Each structure stands twice: as structure tokens, then as C-alpha cells.
């Protein structure tokens, strides 16, 4: 799976202000960690949402806007979906030994981080990996524990998994001290984590589905609005008190468009149509307007969910938008190709992506790689000159998504695009002194992507244009070289506005998917380089920590470790060195938090 692939934890008013700042400095989206102060107090698992100290619990009231007829799951027989995975041949004993040693190293890193969480932040949302304290970032329902359940299963950590199952009984999803619940994050981390563990263990542990129903029924209350669009930052205490709610006029695209997999799986497992009905209304709204936006085929970063309008002029596949597009081929698979709706939406998306956002950067060794930029569509013209050649770590999901789409939608010519996007992320790792890609960077785009060669003067010109406060007419080359040294810019990079690494999974996600599609061992080798560099730079006494600057081999570490480090990043590193049948992509679909949902039999 974006900025989750992703935490949208800042207060809504701050988000709005930030998102309307310069487009080149977009606020992070779906997986961005919130700059919380460390929570040193030991909160109980369920705490009060009332300033008076009276504990409020979610209880279902009669809906203000009830549904008369639910939209049911498709009832036609599932269609055959083309195979995704490569037909792997048997490996030599030497190759198997090397692969398993690498896998073991990843597992050891996971065990180290899990132990740190278990010993110091058990039943809290996140461990603070430098101080050994904890943070509450997602309503206080033990986010890291729930998010990591299926990782424990995949890695064969049976004892730890059983202990986590026992701890689930202690989590009360009916209450939280938070006044707002982020529906997107709750959906992908909590509901997704419970469903993924349920499907991986073939329903052996009833508590997983029981708790999934608890959390799904609670957040379903956020859909009780006039138009059935959810209030994405849900004022749950209003609903608990029987009061009405409204969706926001400034709803982040990914928060509205990334609920389909989890709610669909809930209807498949419980046979209750209300969950699918809830997300199908969103899908229909998106499909009806996809060709009517300012950039037809794409939806803008912000949605007016209250008036059901797409008037925002800013378009990206990165933070605040990412998983909406990621879910198009994945929902098609989870529904067993019983509808052409997602195929049609994906076709429109790819047409716009290829025509407006993709670009090739200049590299010193003239690599044929691709990235996707941003567009400010209210600038009259549709020419490529309006493209902002910005890339984010969050955008690295795109290679995997297009790789899957090339298979399930039978678009084989686009597999090369997927590989070039994944190779672009590998390149962005390899060029940094730490061997780790930064959060955000700007690149020097080729004038002609079909005939692109290294041009030092163009790179210098782009650097000056981006970073120089005023042009130096005396010696522009010296000015550019000074800026390059000051900002630590590798060849081809013109700016690194955010040099942090947040333990993000998107790059290894696409490398893993492309490996499973192509069987190319070079991708395993790239993954191993990435893992070794990340492990070296992020390991702490307690676990692993984000780092402040990937340009600095002595970069300070930061005192947070989001739950996706265990739920996604280390899981993908582990899976790329696993036997191909472990979480086979022809049997499971992974949500944007890497939780595997079982696909219907055809």
C-alpha cells in the first residue's frame, strides 16, 4: 500500500492550512508520523472521552439517516483472474542457504523490535524506541499489537501470537479518550490487522472476527450522515450521544477512497451487507466523477464529501491520495472480478497517469527509470511543463500497484512501467550516503524521456531554479555547485525538502511485488542492500527508530516507531526472502497496511 501507504493525525484545521500552502511542499499524508510529544503517563487501555471524567462508551443509537435497501455484494460467479506470481523453479542449495540467512536476519530484527514493544509499551499504541516509553497515536487500542498480528503468524512466532490473542480480550474498542477517531487509520491498522490474522489462520481463532466486528460496527457509525459519506475524523462522542454528524468539506482523498477492501471483506465473512453498502456508495461517487475532475481520470487531494464535489485543483498519487489508486486492482481481485467497475476506473487512472504524471529523471549513468510528479491543474494548460517533478517515499507503492494491474487487468505492456518505477525507488536508496531514500525529493526531469542523457548544465540550472534565492549572473556554475554541497544533493537531485526516513515500507513493498511477478533475483539483492542499511541506521537498544537525515551517516535517530514498521516494512523484507507460497499473491490480496485477505475461490 500513503502522506498509507499514511498517518493523518494533525488536527483538521492545521491540515487544511498546510495543504493550501505551496504545492511543492505538500503536507505528508497517509503514513506520516505525528510529531507527538512523548506520552510518559501510563494511560489505561480505555480512558475517558469526557472532560468531566465520566467514561463514555460507544452504543448504537437509531440512525439519523438509515438505509432502506443495502447494496449487496455481487452474486455472479467469480471470474478467473490471470495469475500474478512467477512460476518459480527449484533453487540450488547455495541459493536457498543465502536466502534463508537473509530471512533469518530480518526475523531477528523483528524479534528485537517486538521484544522492545512487549517489554516497554505493551497494550499501548507505539513504542518510543529511544526513551523506552510509549506514544498514543491511534485511539489507544494497542495499535502495534493489533497491526502486527499477521506478521507474528507469517514469521512463525506462535508463542508471541498466542500471547497477543490473549491481550486482545483486554482491549475495549467501545471507548477512547480521543475526541476524534481517524476512520482511515482505524480501518487499515485495526480492522485490517484483525482480518488479516483471521484469514491467515483460516478462522481458527474466533476472537479475531469477534473483535473485527466490534471495531467495524463502531466505525460504521461514522457513515450516518445525510449522504452516507463518512465523517473521516469522526466525532464519535456526538454519535454516542445520539447527535447527528456531517462529513467534511475538506476530506483527504485517501481517507475516503481506501476503505473498500476491509469493509468488503467484512461483508464476505459476516454476510452482513451493510459494510459493502457503505463503501460501494463511495465507489459509485468516485466513478461518476472520475472524468469530470480538473484532471480527468484522477481525483484531487481533497474532496468536498459534504457537498460531494471534487473541486480541489491539486493532483498527486502520493501522500493524501496514494491508497485510493492502490485499491483499484486490489478490490477487483477481492470481489473475484465479479464487476467491471474497478477495471474501468483503473483504465481511466492509468491513462491520466501516463499522460500527465510520469516522468523520467536524468541520472549520471543514464538509467531508464520512472517517477510520478504532481500537477496543479488550475493552471489552464495541460502541458507537461506544469508537472512538478517531486517524488516521495510514499509514492514507491506505485510500482507494485501497476505490476499487479498489468497482470490482473491483462495489460502486459505496463509491466515495464512498474519495473522502472520500482527501479527508481531502488536508485533513490542507492544514491544516498546512508543507502536510504529520503521522505521527499525533487528531481531533474529529462527534456525527452525517449532520448535522455546526463546534462550537467541542466542539473545545475534546475538546482539554481529550485534553491537559489536570487540568480548569480557572474558564475552560475559555482553557485549551483555551492548549493549542491550545502544541501547534500546527489547527481540528478535538485532538492531534498524532507530528508527523514520514517521506517516506511513502500519501496520494499514494490520490490517484493515485482520480485513475486518476475522472479528476478536482482530484486532480492536490492532488498538485501536496503535492509542492511536500514537496520544499521535505525537500530536502537529498545527497537528501531526513524532517522532525521538520510544524507548523514551519523544521522540522529528520532524517538518514534510507527506500527507499520512491524506490520509492513519488516513483513515485506521477510516475505521477499520467503518461499513464494508464503502469502501467495494468487491466493491473497494485501491491504495498504500489508494485511493479507483471502481471495474468493474461482
Would the annotation count 592 as a binding residue?
Answer: yes
**CATH for 502:** 1.50.10.10
Instruction: Give the whole-angstrom CA distance, residue 319 versus residue 299.
Output: 13
pLDDT at residue 54 is higher than 90 = no
- Find, among 232, 575, 601, 267, the residue nearest to 400 by Cα: 575
Q: Where are the strands (E) in 400-545, listed by range?
A: 440-443, 493-498
Give percent of the chain above pLDDT 90: 86
Q: Where are the strands (E) in 97-237, listed by range?
A: 126-127, 134-135, 181-182, 233-234
pLDDT at residue 70 is higher than 80 = yes
**Structural domain includes residue 482:** no
pLDDT at residue 71 is higher than 90 = yes
Domain count along the chain:
1
pLDDT of the residue at 570: 99
pLDDT at residue 10 is higher than 80 = no
Taking each helix axis from N to C end, the angle separating 397-408 and 506-518, rounded to the nearest 10 degrees, works out to 30
pLDDT at residue 116 is higher than 60 = yes
**Structural domain includes residue 156:** yes
pLDDT at residue 87 is higher than 80 = yes
pLDDT of the residue at 8: 43
With left for phi above 0 and alpha for psi between -120 and 50, is residue 290 left, alpha or beta? alpha
In tens, the pLDDT along 134-187 reads 999 999 999 999 999 999 999 999 999 999 999 999 999 999 999 999 999 999
What's the whole-number average pLDDT of the chain?
91
- Find, among 326, 307, 342, the residue nearest to 258 by Cα: 326
The arithmetic mean of pLDDT across residues 279-302, rounded, is: 98
pLDDT at residue 36 is higher than 90 = no
**Structural domain includes residue 470:** no
The arithmetic mean of pLDDT across residues 395-418, rounded, is: 98
507 with 429: CB under 8 angstroms? yes
Which residues form the domain of 306?
12-35+67-454+491-598
**Structural domain includes residue 268:** yes
Instruction: Give the whole-angstrom CA distance, residue 285 versus residue 294.
Output: 16
pTM, whole model, 2 decimals? 0.92
Q: Catalytic positions, please?
A: 185, 322, 439, 506
**Structural domain includes residue 517:** yes
**Structural domain includes residue 4:** no
**Structural domain includes residue 55:** no
pLDDT of the residue at 58: 87
pLDDT at residue 42 is higher than 50 = no
pLDDT of the residue at 392: 98
Instruction: pLDDT band for 47, please (50, 70, 90 cuts).
Output: very low
In tens, the pLDDT along 237-265 reads 999 999 999 999 999 999 999 999 999 99
pLDDT of the residue at 472: 63
**Structural domain includes residue 459:** no
Can you give the C-alpha Rg of the chain in angstroms? 23
pLDDT at residue 94 is higher than 70 = yes
pLDDT of the residue at 59: 84
Task: Tell me which of 37-46, 372-381, 475-484, 585-594 is least confident.
Answer: 37-46
Amino acid at each position: 500500500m500513503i502522506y498509507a501507504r499514511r498517518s493523518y493525525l494533525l488536527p483538521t484545521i492545521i491540515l487544511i492550512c498546510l495543504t493550501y500552502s505551496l504545492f511543492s511542499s505538500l503536507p505528508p499524508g497517509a503514513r506520516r508520523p505525528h510529531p507527538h510529544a512523548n506520552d510518559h503517563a501510563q494511560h489505561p487501555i480505555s480512558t475517558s472521552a469526557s472532560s468531566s471524567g465520566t467514561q463514555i462508551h460507544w452504543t448504537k443509537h437509531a440512525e439519523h439517516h438509515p438505509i432502506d435497501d443495502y447494496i449487496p455484494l455481487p452474486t455472479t460467479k467469480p471470474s478467473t483472474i490471470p495469475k500474478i506470481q512467477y512460476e518459480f523453479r527449484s533453487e540450488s542449495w547455495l541459493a536457498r542457504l543465502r536466502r534463508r540467512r537473509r530471512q533469518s536476519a530480518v526475523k531477528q530484527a523483528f524479534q528485537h523490535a517486538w521484544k522492545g514493544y512487549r517489554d516497554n509499551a505493551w497494550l499501548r499504541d507505539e513504542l518510543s524506541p529511544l526513551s523506552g516509553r510509549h506514544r498514543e497515536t491511534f485511539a489507544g487500542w494497542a495499535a502495534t499489537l493489533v497491526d502486527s498480528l499477521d506478521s507474528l503468524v507469517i514469521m512463525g512466532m506462535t508463542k508471541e501470537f498466542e500471547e497477543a490473542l490473549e491481550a486482545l480480550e483486554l482491549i475495549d474498542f467501545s471507548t477512547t479518550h480521543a475526541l476524534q477517531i481517524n476512520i482511515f487509520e482505524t480501518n487499515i491498522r485495526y480492522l485490517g490487522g484483525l482480518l488479516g490474522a483471521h484469514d491467515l489462520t483460516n478462522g481458527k481463532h474466533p476472537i479475531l472476527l469477534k473483535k473485527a466486528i466490534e471495531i467495524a460496527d463502531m466505525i460504521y457509525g461514522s457513515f450516518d450522515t445525510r449522504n452516507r459519506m463518512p465523517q473521516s475524523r469522526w466525532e464519535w462522542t456526538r454519535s454516542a450521544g445520539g447527535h447527528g454528524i456531517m462529513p467534511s468539506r475538506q476530506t483527504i482523498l485517501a481517507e475516503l477512497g481506501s476503505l473498500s477492501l476491509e469493509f468488503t471483506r467484512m461483508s464476505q465473512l459476516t454476510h452482513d451487507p451493510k459494510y459493502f453498502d457503505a463503501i460501494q456508495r463511495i465507489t459509485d461517487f468516485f466513478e461518476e466523477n472520475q472524468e469530470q475532475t480538473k484532471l480527468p481520470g484522477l481525483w484531487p487531494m481533497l474532496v468536498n464529501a459534504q457537498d460531494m464535489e471534487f473541486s480541489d485543483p491539486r493532483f498527486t498519487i502520493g501522500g493524501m491520495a496514494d491508497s485510493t489508486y492502490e485499491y483499484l486492482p486490489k478490490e477487483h481481485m477481492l470481489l473475484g472480478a465479479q464487476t467491471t467497475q474497478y477495471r474501468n476506473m483503473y483504465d481511466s487512472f492509468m491513462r491520466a497517469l501516463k499522460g500527465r504524471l510520469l516522468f523520467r529523471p536524468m541520472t549520471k549513468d543514464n538509467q531508464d527509470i520512472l517517477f510520478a510528479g504532481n500537477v496543479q491543474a488550475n493552471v489552464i494548460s495541460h502541458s507537461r511543463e506544469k508537472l512538478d517533478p517531486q517524488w516521495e517515499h510514499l509514492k514507491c507503492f506505485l510500482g507494485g500497484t501497476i505490476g499487479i494491474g498489468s497482470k490482473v487487468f491483462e495489460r502486459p505492456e505496463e509491466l515495464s512501467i512498474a519495473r522502472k518505477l520500482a527501479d527508481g525507488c531502488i536508485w533513490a536508496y542507492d544514491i544516498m550516503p546512508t543507502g536510504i531514500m529520503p521522505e521527499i525529493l525533487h528531481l531533474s526531469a529529462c527534456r525527452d524521456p525517449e532520448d535522455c542523457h546526463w546534462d550537467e548544465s541542466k542539473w545545475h540550472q534546475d538546482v539554481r531554479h529550485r534553491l537559489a534565492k536570487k540568480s548569480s549572473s557572474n558564475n552560475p556554475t559555482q553557485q549551483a555547485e555551492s548549493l549542491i554541497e550545502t544541501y547534500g544533493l546527489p547527481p540528478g537531485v535538485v532538492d531534498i525538502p524532507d530528508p527523514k526516513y520514517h521506517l516506511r515500507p513502500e519501496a520494499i513493498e514494490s520490490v517484493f511485488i515485482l520480485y513475486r511477478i518476475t522472479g528476478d533475483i536482482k530484486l532480492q539483492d536490492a532488498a538485501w542492500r536496503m535492509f542492511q542499511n536500514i537496520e544499521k541506521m535505525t537500530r536502537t537498544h529498545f527497537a528501531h527508530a526513524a532517522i532525521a537525515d538520510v544524507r548523514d551517516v551519523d544521522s540522529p535517530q528520532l524517538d518514534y516507531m510507527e506500527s507499520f514498521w512491524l506490520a509492513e516494512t519488516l513483513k515485506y523484507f521477510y516475505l521477499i526472502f520467503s518461499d513464494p507460497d508464503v502469502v501467495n499473491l494468487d491466493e491473497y490480496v494485501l491491504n495498504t497496511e500489508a494485511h493479507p485477505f483471502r481471495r474468493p475461490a474461482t
